[in-house]
Amino acid sequence: MPQTGQQTDQQPNVLFIISHDFGPRIGCFGDTQAVTPNIDRLAQQNSLRFERHFAQWPLCGPSRANLWTGCRPPTTQRYDNTSFFPEFRARMGPDFATLPEHFRRHGYASAGIWHLLHGFERDDSSWDEPCWHPSLPTPEIPDFVPRNQLDHFYWWVSDEAFALVKERMGRWQAQGHPLNEPRRYRGPAVEAPDVPDNAYVEGQATEQAINWLNHYDGQKPFFLGVGYEIGHLPFCAPKKYWDLYNRDHLSIPGAADQPPGSPDWVRGDKEPAQYYWQHSYDKVWHPTFEQQKELLHGHYAAMSYWDAQIGRLIEALEQNGLRDNTVIVITTDHGFTDGQHGYVGKHNMWEDALHVPLLIHLPGYQPPQPATERLSEHVDLYPTLCELCGLPVPAFVEGSSLAPLFDDPQRPWKEAVFSWRRPMYHDLNKGYHQARGLRTERYRLTVYQNEPGDALHIELFDHQHDPLESVNLALDPAKADLVANLRAKLDAGWRAALPQKKL
């Protein structure tokens, strides 16, 4: 097992940093367009980069439930963003603990800042004090915004954005509608005001985390979770981060349309639509080329804004003498499709919606190589941090500790990782009940079903030869045996794919 810290008797601290809606489109993960100097620098310092890390579900609430509980979707049974933890705790019993709560039970100070669960969702048992959330209304929200909808309007800070909100509200009311559907009168999809970082909630969250570190008394090791919403639409970031990019030089990644032969309903909803028109999800929306470039520019600007916050957190660790004994985790809740297949969003089962960056910094660690291509998934983070910090792994956890990969990043590992999705209420075309997915080191298989055992549609992509997922091999009769073999692995489930212990 890798050694943490500077060989002291103290258990290592944990700084867990998570954001919304970013795939691994980061410089150190191979994206040449991204400006992410702080993450890139950390990746070169006592860190291991996980190149094939995946979420269990391409939606915020379910994915975060998997991450914080160490349990997979069939166990959590969280399929959307509605309230989760009270019911799940009752179902699991008193031995259950979230990841930060488990650390708290084993002598750690536990603190949470902002977007760790989902939105303003709370789970006070996870923390010594309630997780910090921003106060609403923010100073920028005008009085005309309904007080019961403040959590739909704190993203913007500019007068121009709220002028658009007011205009759309007036138009909606003029059509005879009450103001009870915020998706009908959103602000813009992007915002780039010339303001300091702390003008937005995200910069304020960083300041809260830095303040916590500045007042940390050192009596216990700590688990500090810092969550950001930066990568979620609308893409709002100070102008200086937009100025890092030339929109004309940004290239839209991937295939221009969905795989031939795939029905429209595999694509999921069109998330940005609500910011460009007032039809919400009621009609089919396709972004123009200019809109795609605007959204791509906005997502990169948000990424750089997040990277800057990470740099400030690392600097605070250094200034407080904590860097040398703190494990740092950087990840996101799920991936995001930035124009691949002509789609912007995450509500589907394609690679980009599920592929997630994961970087773990381990003080004193000398990696045999900077990255591993072995498969990992969000449920693995719970047992990994337990092992790295010398804590027992609870029996209910359904992931595998990644600690052995620090010693040997190329060792044989799990055969597959697994994912699920169900259509959301706002999917315009709900063509299936549930999709189940399998990702091996080479292939991605997805089976869309209405009933267990059936197959409305199957997708199979060969990532060795087709990383853009442009050819569905399941439509080729010559690949029937391969499809059957992978479906057997899917049906056998995650326990059958676990890594074998070295003798």
Give the confidence band of 4 by pLDDT, cuts at 50, 70, 90: very low
- For residue 445, give the 3-state DSSP assignment: strand
Closest CA to 51 of 259, 337, 360, 323: 360
- Confirm if 305 and 241 have CB atoms less than 8 A apart: yes
Q: Phi, psi (5° rounding) for residue 50?
A: -100, 105
d(CA 478, CA 342): 28
Task: Output the six-digit token pair for 149.
Answer: 């909808």
pLDDT score for 286: 86
The HSE-up count of residue 503 (CA atoms within 13 Å, CB side) is 0
- Confirm if 479 and 471 have CB atoms less than 8 A apart: no
Give the mean model confidence (pLDDT) for residues 95-123: 96
Give the confidence band of 9 by pLDDT, cuts at 50, 70, 90: low
Give the mean model confidence (pLDDT) for residues 116-139: 95
Contacts of 98 (CB under 8 A, 6+ apart): 68, 69, 85, 123, 125, 126
Closest CA to 329 of 211, 224, 212: 224
DSSP 455-501: -SEEEEEETTT-TT----GGG-GGGHHHHHHHHHHHHH-GGGGPPPP
pLDDT score for 8: 47
d(CA 326, CA 108): 13
Q: Is the peptide bond before 367 cis (omega within 30 degrees of 0)?
A: no
Q: Is the peptide bond before 234 cis (omega within 30 degrees of 0)?
A: yes
C-alpha Rg value of the chain to the nearest Å? 22
Q: b/e per residue, 274-302, with b = 16+ CB within 10 A? A: bbbebebbeeebebeeebbbbbbbbbbbb
pLDDT score for 258: 82
* Domains by residue range for the chain, with CATH: 13-497 (3.40.720.10)
Percent residues over pLDDT 70 in the chain:
97
Residue 303 confidence (pLDDT) above 50:
yes
Closest CA to 334 of 30, 90, 73, 11: 73
Task: Output the six-digit token pair for 101.
Answer: 């709560």
- For residue 325, give the 3-state DSSP assignment: helix
| Model pLDDT for residues 203-248, shown as the tens digit of each residue | 999 999 999 999 999 999 999 999 999 999 999 999 999 999 999 9
Task: Output the six-digit token pair for 383.
Answer: 């047992």
pLDDT score for 429: 84
Give the mean model confidence (pLDDT) for residues 95-117: 97
d(CA 483, CA 474): 6
Q: Which helix (H) or strand (E) holds 212?
A: helix 201-214
Give the mean model confidence (pLDDT) for residues 10-25: 96
- Helices 381-388 and 60-69 cross at an angle (nearest 10°) of 30
d(CA 480, CA 279): 42
- For residue 377, give the 3-state DSSP assignment: strand
d(CA 228, CA 20): 6
Q: Which helix (H) or strand (E) holds 226?
A: strand 222-228
Residue type, 211: N
d(CA 400, CA 129): 30
| Model pLDDT for residues 314-363, shown as the tens digit of each residue | 999 999 999 999 999 999 999 999 988 888 999 999 999 999 999 999 99
pLDDT score for 36: 98
Longest dimension (CA), the chain: 72
Residue 186 confidence (pLDDT) above 90:
yes
- Helices 201-214 and 289-319 cross at an angle (nearest 10°) of 10
pLDDT score for 6: 42
pLDDT score for 7: 39
Q: b/e per residue, 73-92, with b = 16+ CB within 10 A? A: bebbebbebeebbeebbeee
Residue 255 confidence (pLDDT) above 80:
no
* Average pLDDT over the chain, rounded to an integer: 94
Closest CA to 186 of 219, 235, 253: 235
Strand residue runs (E) in 115-204: 190-191
pLDDT score for 247: 97
pTM of the predicted model, to two decimals? Answer: 0.96
Q: Which of the pair, 58 or 6, is modelled with greater confidence?
A: 58
- Confirm if 67 and 381 have CB atoms less than 8 A apart: yes
Contacts of 222 (CB under 8 A, 6+ apart): 13, 14, 108, 109, 110, 111, 216
- Confirm if 233 and 195 have CB atoms less than 8 A apart: no
DSSP 99-111: HHHHHHHTT-EEE
| Model pLDDT for residues 391-450, shown as the tens digit of each residue | 999 999 999 999 999 999 999 999 999 999 999 888 888 899 999 999 999 999 999 999
Contacts of 351 (CB under 8 A, 6+ apart): 335, 439, 444, 461, 463, 467, 469
Residue 503 confidence (pLDDT) above 80:
no
